[in-house]
Structure formats: structure tokens, C-alpha cells
Amino acid sequence: MGFADQRFNVNLSILFTELPLLERPAAAAAAGFTAVELWWPWIDTPVPARSERDALRGAIEAAGVRLTGLNLYAGRLPGPDRGALSVPGAESERFRANVEVAAGFAGELGCTALNALYGNRVEGLDPAEQDALALENLTLAARAADRIGAALLIEALNRPESPDYPLVSAAAAVGVVDRVNAATGLGNARFLMDLYHLSVNGEDLPAVIEEHTARTGHVQIADNPGRGAPGTGSLPLEDLLDRLGDAGYAGWIGLEYKPGDRPSAESFAWLPPAARAAR
């Protein structure tokens, strides 16, 4: 198969960050991409002003690209604090306030996936209490996603970079997926298979693909070590994506890598133009 036979989108929260947010959709289109994804763009607030949301929606629509994935509010991201939905108090309330706003914004753009980062463990709190809160909030988010015809994604991160994040294996993330689906009966919670994070955790990636592709709603890639573009590290990404295709995965593959000390547009030489223009 190879890279040319896959569907790629570009994450505008890690690529093209040398540009202001509203200029990034057009830059992605100029690089040949027809689809983009985003972490929650307004880090400081779960409910940005309508004018800010309209400006970003206008930039995406004017560029002619499709928003295929959006993270829900996750606290300070990037940074040491990852996720909000399992953190009691103000962060959990901010997450709840964000759910309908984010789903509404995503739905206006035909987005088909919302990603909910689980939330760090908090010292002094019973992990079971955090897990119960997480299930409650993920159930809320799954129902909001269902109303716009979207999947709710659950992601494993890596322990070295996110030492307090509890989902640091494919099995742990898929376990949450199953609990959310059991709670809602909707079946729209899916695993976000980030090959970079899983490789940093030392997982057997071919085994993960074989076991979990059926529950996978989105894939993200970066090379390891370094979190750079494919070919800058040692991960056999082309082979891994072939395995995903053979296992039946036909969804989007998000480019979530750092471009290095060069403009983002120069980091896509490895990717055939046809794979950037997938619909």
C-alpha cells in the first residue's frame, strides 16, 4: 500500500504554529491538504467569544479545508497538565461548560471526531473517585458527539512526557472506550491510536494494531525518537500504516509531529500529494 494509499490530515496545533491561528488553514491548503484537525484552540477558556469561534470557522471555510477532528477543552495544553474531565472542581466544570460549545462549533464544520483527554491524577485524591467523574463526563461528551454524528475519541499518552496521566497503554484507553459505550449504549466512543505515544511507552505496535484496530476511530503519527516527521526517527511508519490498512482501518491519519527548525510546509516531502488531498 504505502503512504500514497492512506488519508492524511494535518494538526494545526503542532504544525504551522509559526503562523497565527487564523492563517494556518490556508497554509495547510497551500501545502495540498484538504483536511485539518485541532487541539482546543482557546487554551485559556472553554467558552470563547462567539466572534472568536466565527473567525476560526470562517478561516477554515475560506481555505476550503475540512475540520475532521477537534479536542475538547483540556486545561493547559501543551504543558504538564493534560486533560480536565477527571479533575474535580473547577476544571471538571470548565470541561462540562465546553462540551456543548465545542460540539456546536465542530458540528457547524461537519467534524466527525471529538477527542477527550482523560486528565491527570491529582495527588491526595482517590483514583476511583477520578475515574467515576471521568465516566460521568465522558458519557456527557459521547452524547453531545452523537448529536452531531461524531465519534468520541479516547487517547493514550506516554508516561515519560505525561507522568500523571493514567492512560498510558492501548489496553487502558480501550478499557475506557468500552466503559463509555456500555454507559451510553451509543457505541460512538472509539480509541485514538497515536503510534508515537504508544511507541514511547514501549508497546508492541503490530500487536496493538492487530488487537485494537476494530475499536479505533482515529490514528495519529510522529516518528520516534524526537516526535518529528516520518523518516526522522526509527519507527517503521509506512509498514505500520500498511498493517492498519490490512486490519481494516480506512479512516484519517493525523500528522501530529514537530516540523523541526524549518517552516512546516517544508516537512511534508515524504508524503505524496495525492495523500494530502484525500476526501
| Peptide bond before residue 20 is cis, with ω within 30 degrees of 0 | no
Beta bridge partners of 220: 194, 254
Residue 211: active-site member: no
Q: Which three cell numbers stand for residue 102?
A: 465545542
Q: Which residues contact 144 (CB under 8 A, 6 or more apart)?
A: 99, 100, 102, 103, 114
Residue 93: active-site member: no
Specify whether the CB–CB gap between 59 and 8 falls below 8 A.
no
Specify whether the CB–CB gap between 111 and 119 falls below 8 A.
no
Q: Which three cell numbers stand for residue 131?
A: 475515574
Considering 37, 91, 155, 203, which one is annotated as catalytic?
155
Residue 57 has what DSSP assignment? H
The half-sphere exposure of 158 on its side-chain side, counting CA atoms within 13 A, is 16
Classified as helix, coil or strand, 69 is: strand
Residue type, 149: G
Residue type, 38: L
Considering 37, 91, 203, 256, which one is annotated as catalytic?
256
Specify whether the CB–CB gap between 230 and 239 falls below 8 A.
no
How far apart, in whole angstroms, are the C-alpha atoms of residue 195 and residue 214?
16
Q: Measured at the alpha carbon of residue 37, what is the angle toward residues 12 and 149, in degrees to the nearest 5?
A: 160
Positions marked catalytic: 155, 256
